[in-house]
A = this chain, B = another copy of it.
Amino acid sequence: MKIIIPQGFKAGAVASGIKKREKLDLALIFSQVPSKAAAMFTTNNFPAAPVKVCREHLNKGRSQAVIVNSGNANSFTGQAGIKDARATAALLAANLGIKKEGVLVASTGIIGKRLPMDKIKAGVPLLVKGLSAAGIHKAARAIMTTDTFPKLAGAEFTCGGKKITVTGMTKGAGMIAPNMATMLCFIMTDARIESGALKAGLRAAVNASFNSITIDGCMSTNDMVLAMANGYAENPAIKAGSASFKKFQHALSSVCLLLAKMMVIDGEGATKFIEIKVKGARNDAQAKKAALAVANSNLVKTAIYGENPNWGRIVCAIGASGVEVKEETLKVKFSPLAKKDIFIEADLNIGKGEAVTYTSDLTPEYIKINAEYN
């Protein structure tokens, strides 16, 4: 499927010099009208400056633009970092002729260094000048850090005779390598939708996608998922719980799941894509806890890297997760390990709870990437 940007959105990117060797490092997403926005942020107790400024701006009304820099996380930069994030928003707002509260900011890269504001100041006018519908592909490249390919996904549906597009971009590539990778995701849609419905839809989509994957069990200070809905499709407004909401949820969830799977495939050093299904748990939350425990087990991940059919490590991880289990009823099966896509299923056989998580294997290359990066 060809990825197109939803109506009323433009995007673009420039190489501002934050990253070395003239790599794209400043991306912009712009909606021609103020949009409804919903967001989910890292639960790390040290949220980075852009996370704090996004929360502030989202509370003040509609959003119209997102500016993202890669190469510097603006994390652990104190009050100065918050000032820099606010100044970036104000600068972009002035260039776009919009209110500064309409600008959201995101950063990914090294922790503990001030943003090079001179480079951002020089880059912003060029960024605004270069905005276009096709610019989304450039923007998806600009937000990459250790990612090896840009990650875009789209879905379409109709609502009241109008075609609605949902398009997202994300970057990995360790679930977090706080120094160099962070999970960022930006979703655009031209749907007209009520705020509550957008928020509920995003929460459900993220729960089954980005909150169901893990590369290394670490959590960044900068993670965020933003969704903007600008209403350009002029469909009858989508209300939570309606038939059209179901269609919207399906489109949004499939975009998020596609992007999440791309992040796992591009996980640092990954050679295998692993899907872990736990069923028969007391409830869905327990199933997810067990599935994440398997996904985060270094011993399971190294066994799969080695194509070593070691079911003892899977049951051991489930037992250590703390969820309700019975040795007599547990059944574990997995697909042939020589393939690239691995499917593990554990049936606890005590209830109806189910969950699926996704992860990659743990390889010498992961260690090389993370040992050497400075």
- When C-beta atoms are compared, the residue in chain B nearest to A109 turns out to be B312
Q: Contact: A111 with B363, CB < 8 Å?
A: no
Question: A199 within 8 Å of B by Cβ?
Answer: no
Question: A172 within 8 Å of B by Cβ?
Answer: no
- Binary contact readout A69-95 vs B (1 if CB under 8 angstroms, 0 otherwise): 000010110100000000000000000
With A297-B218, A320-B218 as given contacts, are A110 and B303 in contact (CB-CB < 8 Å)? no
Question: A148 within 8 Å of B by Cβ?
Answer: no
- Binary contact readout A310-323 vs B (1 if CB under 8 angstroms, 0 otherwise): 11110111111111
Residue in A43, A217, A370 with the greatest tally of chain B CB atoms within 10 Å: A370
CB distance from A254 to the nearest CB of B (A): 29
Residues of B within 8 A of A110 (CB): 312
Q: Contact: B45 with A316, CB < 8 Å?
A: no
In the bound assembly, the distance between CA atoms of A46 and B314 in angstroms comes to 12
Question: A108 within 8 Å of B by Cβ?
Answer: no
Q: Contact: A371 with B306, CB < 8 Å?
A: yes
Question: A366 within 8 Å of B by Cβ?
Answer: yes
Question: A44 within 8 Å of B by Cβ?
Answer: yes
Question: A97 within 8 Å of B by Cβ?
Answer: no
Q: Contact: A76 with B308, CB < 8 Å?
A: no
Residues of B within 8 A of A112 (CB): 311-312
Partner of A305, one of B303, B308, B328, B371: B371
Q: Contact: A299 with B76, CB < 8 Å?
A: no
In the bound assembly, the distance between CA atoms of A220 and B371 in angstroms comes to 28
Q: Contact: B319 with A370, CB < 8 Å?
A: no
Q: Contact: A364 with B368, CB < 8 Å?
A: yes
Question: A265 within 8 Å of B by Cβ?
Answer: no
Question: A216 within 8 Å of B by Cβ?
Answer: yes
Q: What is the interface of chain A, defined by CB distance below 8 A to chain B?
A: 43-46, 73, 75-76, 78, 110-112, 174, 176-179, 216-221, 296-299, 302-303, 305-306, 308, 310-313, 315-325, 327-328, 330, 362-364, 366-368, 370-374
10 extra interface residue pairs, beta carbon distance < 8 Å, beyond A45-B324, A75-B312, A78-B327 = A44-B316, A45-B319, A45-B320, A45-B322, A76-B315, A112-B311, A178-B299, A217-B296, A218-B299, A219-B319
- Name 20 A/B residue pairs within 8 A (Cβ), A-sorted: A43-B320, A45-B319, A45-B320, A45-B321, A45-B322, A46-B318, A46-B319, A46-B327, A46-B330, A111-B312, A111-B316, A174-B299, A177-B299, A218-B313, A218-B320, A221-B316, A298-B298, A302-B371, A310-B373, A310-B374
